[in-house]
Structure 1
Amino acid sequence: MKLSFLSEFFNRFISNRGMRRHFRRLAMFDSFHGSGASKDIPASISHKLSLAATSTIDEVIQTLGSHEHGLTETQAFAVRELVGLNEIQQEKPPPWWMHLWRCYKTPFDILLTVLAIISYITEDMKATVVIGSMVFLSVLIRFWQERKSNKAADALKAMVSNTATVIRRDPSESILEEAQVHFGIQSHPEMSERTEIPINQLVPGDIIALSAGDMIPADCRILSAKDLFVSQAAMTGESLPVEKFASPKSAQTNNPLEFENLAFMGTNVVSGTATAIAISTGDSTYFGVLAKDLTTSNQEPTQFQMGVNKVAWLLIRFMMVMTPLVFFINGFTKGDWAEAFLFAMSVAVGLTPEMLPMIVTSTLAKGAVVLSKQKVIVKRLDAIQNFGAMDVLCTDKTGTLTQDKIFLANHTDAWGKDSDDVLEFAYLNSFYQTGLKNLLDVAVLEYKHVYKELNPTVNFHKIDEIPFDFQRRRMSVIVSNHEGKNILICKGAVEEILSICTTVQQGGHKSKLTPEVLASVKEVTADLNEDGLRVVAVATKSFDVCKETFSVADESGLMLIGYVAFLDPPKESTAPALKALADHGVTVKVLTGDNELVTTKVCKEVGLDASEIILGSQIEIMDNEALSAIVESHHIFAKLTPAHKDRIVRSLKAAGHVVGFMGDGINDAPALRSADVGISVDTAVDIAKEAADIILLEKSLMVLEEGVIEGRKTFGNMLKYIKMTASSNFGNVFSVLIASAFIPFLPMLPMQLLVQNLLYDISQIAIPFDNVDPESVKLPQRWNPGDIGRFMVFFGPVSSIFDITIYCVMWFVFSANSAEHQSLFQSGWFVEGLMTQTLVVHMIRTRKIPFIQSRPGNALLAMTIAIMAAGIFLPMGPLASYFKMVPLPLTYFPILGAILIGYIVLTQLMKNFYSKRFGWQ
């Protein structure tokens, strides 16, 4: 009865009075919620962050309406309704109407709209309808395809979305707290639990648990911290991690980034653990406000984007030069300046690559969908082109070359004899550590019988922890046993452990670690390494004096207990995958933090040349010039720090390589960001997945090799359209100039030119689904806009030869040589021009003989047939008069067939000549 009453009391109180009070507190905290902060300038953000940093922990919690044990789900939902999702506004897709406007506001569609308006003013309703339809279809196709690809990309991203660990209170705790005030019932603070939620569900007031590898999901005030080091490079450019504390250790500062008790969205935890309270989310974070000041025009374009833009502007500049020539030639020769202007505008439309954005987007989207079926998730569409262009792949060793199923093979004392003591100490270390548990810890904890024998929850009590970091390469836990003695158990890399040991356990006794003993000990580890085992040393230290807090300084004077050795055998698929990558022009370089002996063993087993390995200590003393030479000639690098990996990637990029980097750890994040294409896996730490452009659902080089091939297919299909558009447009201008100079009437009406261009554009929609020749994906595909101009000059005039031929046929054979018979001339050129334009993609899509040695995709072939049929139907069918055309005589079609055969033969001969001299990309 009492519980029912409390439940009803809770529902009424929290829903009304409690929530209103919570929101009033949020509003009091100087725009801490997201609704108003997004409009503030960074100065006001600095003010509110400073206020949070200088307030006491209790004040911050109270002001945010939170609790030391976190928010309830009900409270979090209510706050989220008020402040919105924890997302940066620029990352959200635009609303449909804004997207539609962006698809329309291209120079090409605006030009078409101007033409439609002019046609309407001159009462040419037919031209108005045709031009309007062209604008409508062009924009609609682009809008539909981009919308579809964006949704697909969002769905793929959702598969690898990051999460945050928050502390949620049980609703009954809130009931009891209120009941305590009114009825004197005590609350139960243990009624809370840690839960994983998507980062975008985080709200101000949430209590967050942080550990090594986590992304900071919001602007936070640190509540408690243990050896917490945060990388703020994304915000401040600092190369070294910054230590954070619950209470500031240094003097007061006016720069919020210098507050030692604040952590910011966009940074990441390098080592240590902490709890923090979210004070700002989404657009009201420091990062969010800065991001709002950045527009896409300020973002550095990728190599791919620059290449597409160069080609587009090449064609636009060409149009801006040739269009006035067409206008003046027709104006002077025909005398009708208005008609000449419309014709020139129509030619301008025909020259503009208005379908280029749609073709590029749809090709990339199709590639992303295909890759998703091959367990490759593309976060950024442009990365597909870099994937195909990649000629150097840098990868870690563990889990990529090896099976990523590490198991504990040996547990020995310092002399190589089996030792249960080593296993027990290693188990306690792995069991009690709260940081990022790696595969080695998982392998140790799989020894369930050790848990039963030790019963750590009863016989031991954890006192403290010294988390892992990449400088020390070790971590320690401190436990007290049933005798009350504190024991520090340290586990880590052999050399780093030996550097802090002064004694060694031998046969139940303690011996000094003399140079002679040290040499013997290192021989044992070397033998284990040569067997392909990864060795982790274990050492201990006892403390008679009880202490509650420990630091790195306590990691000294330890006693070496022995080693735990792990086996991670190579995958059976690794050697074939490496060979396949090499056959496709991709050089694999191994970048690992593991020691050189294990690395050598594994690399030899998978067929990599491990005769000479470069160590991180050698890289440390190299200047950039020396490093550049080393990374070109060597392929195996061991004992690397995150900074070493980053330097190697940057050096390879500076040498002109397109570099891919594959990694899944915290130490891989800098190199992932620096690489042309960052590749991670869905099981990677948050910071690695966030830094990557491509996520693999299976950590395998074989999957990666399939992705590389698909990237090259995607690039190849884009290049087909660009080459075809450039050469076809160039040839059309020649044809128009010649016809304008010698024919007393317009060679084609503006409306007819626009219809031809519309049909031609529709035929290109199927290009993303075309087949690609195997030899086209054999080697990395580089973007080289300079080749486009040369290609245009070589192949453009070929179509002009046959355009001039049809001019002569219509003039001399069919007597279409006067204004009275201009419709026949225009109809004849309309059909021939559309046929050659449609066929050109089949000629350029392959260096082989089209249709015979290289079959096009079914979609492209069907679209070609449909458009060619439509082109013949227009002058021959009932719509001919609408477009001011006339039926063509039947004798025209054998001549047309001969012209098309001649066009195919001559283009094929030109292809052979061009490819022998310049190559065929």
Structure 2
Amino acid sequence: MLAFRWAGTTMSLCDPRIESQSPEAALSSFGSGSEGLTREEAVRRRAEFGPNRVEAVTRIPLWRTFLREFSDFFALILWLAAGMAFVSEGANPGQGMAGLGFAIIGVILVNGCFSFWQAYRAEQALAALRQLLPQVAHVRRSGETLALNVEDLVPGDLVLLAEGDKVPADCRIVAAWGLRVNLATLTGESRPKARSAKADAAAGGNVLVARNLLLAGTLIVSGGCRAVVYATGMRTEFGRIAHLTQTVGAAESPLQREIRRVSHLVALLALGLGLVFFLIGDWIGLPFWANAMFAIGIIVANVPEGLLPTVTLALALATQRMARRNALVRHLPAVEALGSTTVILTDKTGTLTRNSMAVRELYVAGAHHLAAPRWPRGADLRLRSVARFCHALKFPGGQPSGDPMEIALWQFAGEIPEPGGRIGDMPFDAERRRMSVLMAEPGGGASLWCKGAPETVLPLCLSWLDGDAERPFDDAAWQAFRCAHEDMANRGLRVLALAWKPVAEVAGADESGLRLCGLIGLEDPPRPDVREAVTRCHEAGLRVIMVTGDHPRTAVALAREVDLIRTPAPVVLNGEEVRKMSPAALQLALDAPEILFARVTAEQKMVIVQALQRKGEIVAVTGDGVNDAPALKTADIGIAMGRSGTDVAREAADIVLLDDHFATIVNAVEEGRTVFENIRKFLTYILTSNIPEIVPYLAFVLFRIPLPLTVIQILAVDLGTDILPALALGAERPHPDIMRLPPRPRQERLLSWPLLARAYLFLGPLEAFGAMMVFFHVLGAGGWSPGQQLAVADPLYLRGTTACLLAIVLTQMANVFVCRHPLLPTWRFPLLSNPLLLLGLVVEALLLLALVYTPWGNLLFGTVPLAGSAWLYAMPFGLLLLVAEEMRKGIVRGRQGAPLPRS
């Protein structure tokens, strides 16, 4: 059996960086050796350093988070109104104020629960991090090999690792054989890295590039080693990223900020109006408790109690639509936030690419060939034989397991009869950068198959294969293969040289005198629909920036292939450059029209996110590895891969792509943009009803008429009849041209002046006019005259308030049609295009009938059955609103000349 022997280099014991020390010095510095720690010393260190696990940071208990939802400014206004109602009931019993107080408390509870649902963050990242680490490790202690729980590992332990093992702690290799490690979970780079025990002073303290260090959570893909543990638990690189993930606060989404702003604005308006009109009532001599009831009515009428539940339910419906398009939403506000995104920071491996190596191109017989078509079996038999048999793969269950690059070569080669058994090998290592195997031939002798980096294999070749002929490996051949190598590498391919030679004597066989079969270029290919998705992002005004742990040349090649960059000279920054840049310099660098980042760490990716946010961008970040988790939490919207992503990335993200397709992000952006427009539609709808709820109280105070609408009836509208139609507006389908519009400006408000003017100065007054006309019509028909006061229980008064309620609901049923778009006519939106709208109107009508004609509706809401004449008198006012709003839309369209403005 041929074997490659490692030869270490002794470094000074006083060098503080463990990667710069020799293996012997590294063991000695931790008081360990070839026999490992003694059991007694291991127990002592366990007590000193603690368990090898990721610890949780102190968090606010869920019960405190829940209670906080009932003490925000929005809730405090309603608590004040409820308190006033109970005080009024105590001082003036029998006026129904106690029922009103309980109803307002019910509203507070509903809003608080929905707000808690929105704010709740299912912090499972810690559990996911623990699952990524192995549960058992093989350790040498007191000269014996033991299987220990990983939590019992301590600095100085000598661990034994083999292919397929996950690294349990940060370790310094002291002996290795053919060792390669997949660092994708920490660095995002898909290519396995060779590791050895040799001292690495060139690493400069960077543990991610040191060739003799193994980091917790990474995977051994081939070979094996002995390594000494130098960091455990939260002191590991893995633990540091876990700490970042736990301590980074989740960013508040644009919708959350806008809802908070709207809530504060409306609540202040309600409180201010209530106070002002209380003072007016006192000035005109209104009795104190009647005045208090009036103030409560003004507050309740101005607070849109159904806003938060309706927003939440609309977002929930949007999440269902997005789930059908393979985007799973974990945090509801992220739905709309994605629609306001201006920049997408995308990882390369597993996001834009398939996260699996594949043979892309060949250079054989002096020419380039694509690897897709299968050649005649004899034409490349030697090349394919090297690809098929020169590997360190294992085959559990008949399927290849090991280095993805070797699996790709094995699959590319196809079925080839094995000439004989393997009789020796020279494993791959970081120094030689190649591997060789000896295979017995059936007729005697053997063949040596070799693959590796071209710069290490080409100097060993004496000839090259031109079909069945051999050509001398002269200067011209050297130049041709070197140019082919550079050309393939510049296009982002990982290039390997494959060579072969017959061996007459196995003893003493070496790798000299090889016959070059050709070059193979491998890549992690892009997903088939990525290019189209990137194009849609450009059309939608979205900036897409690649941030990867891979090599800059590989990143640029892929970015060009998927049309991510189009100019000849994009700005390419590596992680080290980002680390040295000041925050201001990084922000200025991001002004470049096309920029991408390569070789970045977890912290650097997070810094890039923060720099974009300081520039006023709304940032969505995609990722799949542990290294992506801090950036996913820092971003406005974190998007994780559902299939290839780690649990850590998925738990840190707001949205999980179930199919891992970058194109799904664009679909989700479309849904998010639609959600914002739909929220504006139902915000217009529910704010419109505030005016017909306020006007009766103003008339009650200013004109000394009976109160046309009670507070409990206001709640019946806001939390009863209005909810489902408003929700139906939130379920409107995306407009066909919505992805051709640029991203919404960051400063654009949800509650804009055009929206307020339309709701409060046009639609609302039309509804208020209809409600008051119907109220006076019913009272006049019953013999009421101006100046006459009516008792609360008077049947005529009850018919009047019921009629006022009826008129508001009927005009709101007409209002839902005109609110489907602020400028396009109602007939452009067929009713059946939104089945929920039809259902909402039916339910609203049934609720209205229940309020008016059922005993429990009469009892709870102070209503009485109405004659058909009241309905006939109220209905034309809904038609009036519909016609007036369509006329306004037509006038505005004519002035603007724009068929599709924003909502």
Alignment partner of 1:110 is 2:75: no
Could you tell me which residue of structure 2 aligns to residue 534 of structure 1?
A: 493
Post-superposition Cα deviations, 1:538-594, rounded to whole Å, max 9, x if no partner, equal 599xxxxxxxxxxxxxxxxx9999632237776654565455555555465667757
Pick aligned residue for 2:808 from 833, 842, 855: 833
Distance, in Å, in 2 between the alignment partners of 1:407 and 1:66 is 49
Cα 1:363–1:414, aligned 2, differ >3 Å: closer, same or farther?
A: farther
| Contact kept? 1:726, 1:788, Cα under 8 Å | no
Distance, in Å, in 2 between the alignment partners of 1:477 and 1:667 is 29
Cα 1:674–1:526, aligned 2, differ >3 Å: closer, same or farther?
A: farther
Task: Give 1:459 deviation, angstroms.
Answer: 1.3
Alignment partner of 1:729 is 2:690: yes
Could you tell me which residue of structure 1 aligns to residue 293 of structure 2?
A: 342
Describe the SS at the equivalent of 2:132.
Answer: strand
**Structure 1 vs Structure 2: percent identity of aligned residues?**
17
Pick aligned residue for 1:366 from 308, 311, 317: 317
Letter aligned with residue 110 of structure 1? W
Could you tell me which residue of structure 2 aligns to residue 741 of structure 1?
A: 702
| Contact kept? 1:209, 1:275, Cα under 8 Å | no
Task: Give 1:812 deviation, angstroms.
Answer: 6.6
Cα 1:831–1:54, aligned 2, differ >3 Å: closer, same or farther?
A: farther
| Contact kept? 1:356, 1:722, Cα under 8 Å | yes
| Contact kept? 1:333, 1:744, Cα under 8 Å | no
| Contact kept? 1:383, 1:694, Cα under 8 Å | yes
Describe the SS at the equivalent of 2:568.
Answer: coil
| Contact kept? 2:641, 2:656, Cα under 8 Å | yes
Could you tell me which residue of structure 1 aligns to residue 818 of structure 2?
A: 843
| Contact kept? 1:504, 1:510, Cα under 8 Å | no
Task: Give 1:164 deviation, angstroms.
Answer: 1.9
Could you tell me which residue of structure 2 aligns to residue 29 of structure 1?
A: none
C-alpha root-mean-square deviation of aligned residues, in Å? 6.4
Describe the SS at the equivalent of 1:630.
Answer: coil
Distance, in Å, in 1 between the alignment partners of 2:881 and 2:184 is 62
Task: Give 1:159 deviation, angstroms.
Answer: 13
User: Which aligned pairs between 1:196-211 and structure 2 lie closer than 5 A?
Assistant: none
| Contact kept? 2:774, 2:803, Cα under 8 Å | no
Distance, in Å, in 2 between the alignment partners of 1:594 and 1:431 is 25
Could you tell me which residue of structure 2 aligns to residue 252 of structure 1?
A: none
Distance, in Å, in 1 between the alignment partners of 2:390 and 2:630 is 29
Distance, in Å, in 1 between the alignment partners of 2:39 and 2:471 is 51
Distance, in Å, in 2 between the alignment partners of 1:429 and 1:675 is 44
Could you tell me which residue of structure 2 aligns to residue 329 of structure 1?
A: 280
| Contact kept? 2:53, 2:233, Cα under 8 Å | no
Cα 1:612–1:420, aligned 2, differ >3 Å: closer, same or farther?
A: same
Alignment partner of 1:807 is 2:763: no
Could you tell me which residue of structure 2 aligns to residue 795 of structure 1?
A: 759
| Contact kept? 1:424, 1:454, Cα under 8 Å | no
- Number of aligned residue pairs: give it: 773
Describe the SS at the equivalent of 1:301.
Answer: coil
| Contact kept? 1:594, 1:638, Cα under 8 Å | no
Distance, in Å, in 2 between the alignment partners of 1:866 and 1:441 is 63
| Contact kept? 2:88, 2:292, Cα under 8 Å | no
Pick aligned residue for 2:98 from 125, 128, 147: 128
Cα 1:301–1:279, aligned 2, differ >3 Å: closer, same or farther?
A: same
Distance, in Å, in 2 between the alignment partners of 1:293 and 1:570 is 32
User: Which aligned pairs between 1:351-750 and structure 2 lie closer than 5 A?
Assistant: 351-393=302-344, 395=346, 406-408=357-359, 412=363, 431=392, 439-446=404-411, 447=413, 459-460=424-425, 462=427, 476=433, 503=459, 505-507=461-463, 520-525=480-485, 534-538=493-497, 563-566=519-522, 573-574=529-530, 577-578=533-534, 580-581=536-537, 584-586=540-542, 610=566, 612=568, 614=570, 616=572, 627-631=589-593, 634=594, 640-642=598-600, 656-664=616-624, 676-684=636-644, 686=646, 689=650, 692-729=653-690, 732-733=693-694, 736-750=697-711
Task: Give 1:353 deviation, angstroms.
Answer: 3.6
Task: Give 1:366 deviation, angstroms.
Answer: 3.4
Alignment partner of 1:898 is 2:876: yes
Post-superposition Cα deviations, 1:68-105, rounded to whole Å, max 9, x if no partner, equal 9xxxxxxxxxxxxx9999774778993xx767645544
User: Which aligned pairs between 1:206-221 and structure 2 lie closer than 5 A?
Assistant: none
Task: Give 1:324 deviation, angstroms.
Answer: 0.8
Post-superposition Cα deviations, 1:346-389, rounded to whole Å, max 9, x if no partner, equal 32123224443333333333333433333223344333223222
Task: Give 1:661 deviation, angstroms.
Answer: 4.5
Describe the SS at the equivalent of 2:134.
Answer: strand
Post-superposition Cα deviations, 1:99-122, rounded to whole Å, max 9, x if no partner, equal 764554454353454245335524
Alignment partner of 1:318 is 2:294: no
Of stretches 653-662 and 311-320 in structure 1, the one that deviates more from structure 2 is 653-662
Could you tell me which residue of structure 2 aligns to residue 79 of structure 1?
A: none
Could you tell me which residue of structure 2 aligns to residue 874 of structure 1?
A: 851
Distance, in Å, in 1 between the alignment partners of 2:826 and 2:309 is 25
TM, length-normalised to structure 1: 0.65
Task: Give 1:488 deviation, angstroms.
Answer: 14
Letter aligned with residue 566 of structure 1? L
Letter aligned with residue 846 of structure 1? H
Task: Give 1:306 deviation, angstroms.
Answer: 1.8
Extract unaligned runs of 5+ from structure 1. 1-52, 69-81, 194-200, 235-242, 250-259, 467-474, 541-557
Distance, in Å, in 2 between the alignment partners of 1:279 and 1:323 is 61
| Contact kept? 2:802, 2:864, Cα under 8 Å | yes
Pick aligned residue for 1:785 from 742, 745, 749: 749
Of stretches 910-919 and 894-903 in structure 1, the one that deviates more from structure 2 is 910-919
Post-superposition Cα deviations, 1:292-320, rounded to whole Å, max 9, x if no partner, equal 99797xx6533332222112112122122
Post-superposition Cα deviations, 1:592-644, rounded to whole Å, max 9, x if no partner, equal 7578799779956x77884635263799799658744532xx4xx68943379
TM, length-normalised to structure 2: 0.66
Distance, in Å, in 2 between the alignment partners of 1:371 and 1:920 is 22
Cα 1:615–1:490, aligned 2, differ >3 Å: closer, same or farther?
A: farther
Distance, in Å, in 2 between the alignment partners of 1:566 and 1:261 is 26
Describe the SS at the equivalent of 2:309.
Answer: helix
| Contact kept? 2:173, 2:213, Cα under 8 Å | no
Cα 1:745–1:336, aligned 2, differ >3 Å: closer, same or farther?
A: farther
Post-superposition Cα deviations, 1:26-59, rounded to whole Å, max 9, x if no partner, equal xxxxxxxxxxxxxxxxxxxxxxxxxxx9786966
Could you tell me which residue of structure 1 aligns to residue 840 of structure 2?
A: 863
Cα 1:680–1:442, aligned 2, differ >3 Å: closer, same or farther?
A: farther
Cα 1:688–1:461, aligned 2, differ >3 Å: closer, same or farther?
A: farther
Cα 1:626–1:113, aligned 2, differ >3 Å: closer, same or farther?
A: closer
Distance, in Å, in 2 between the alignment partners of 1:747 and 1:330 is 17
User: Which aligned pairs between 1:26-45 and structure 2 lie closer than 5 A?
Assistant: none
Describe the SS at the equivalent of 2:332.
Answer: coil
Letter aligned with residue 800 of structure 1? P
Task: Give 1:214 deviation, angstroms.
Answer: 12
Distance, in Å, in 1 between the alignment partners of 2:461 and 2:756 is 77
| Contact kept? 2:196, 2:430, Cα under 8 Å | no
| Contact kept? 1:204, 1:278, Cα under 8 Å | no
Pick aligned residue for 2:886 from 908, 911, 915: 908
Distance, in Å, in 2 between the alignment partners of 1:764 and 1:912 is 24
Distance, in Å, in 2 between the alignment partners of 1:154 and 1:891 is 59
Could you tell me which residue of structure 1 aligns to residue 713 of structure 2?
A: 752
Task: Give 1:443 deviation, angstroms.
Answer: 0.3
Task: Give 1:507 deviation, angstroms.
Answer: 0.9
Describe the SS at the equivalent of 2:639.
Answer: strand
Describe the SS at the equivalent of 1:309.
Answer: helix
Describe the SS at the equivalent of 1:642.
Answer: coil
Cα 1:884–1:597, aligned 2, differ >3 Å: closer, same or farther?
A: closer
Distance, in Å, in 2 between the alignment partners of 1:912 and 1:216 is 68
Letter aligned with residue 385 of structure 1? E
Could you tell me which residue of structure 2 aligns to residue 920 of structure 1?
A: 902
Distance, in Å, in 2 between the alignment partners of 1:517 and 1:393 is 45
| Contact kept? 2:170, 2:230, Cα under 8 Å | yes
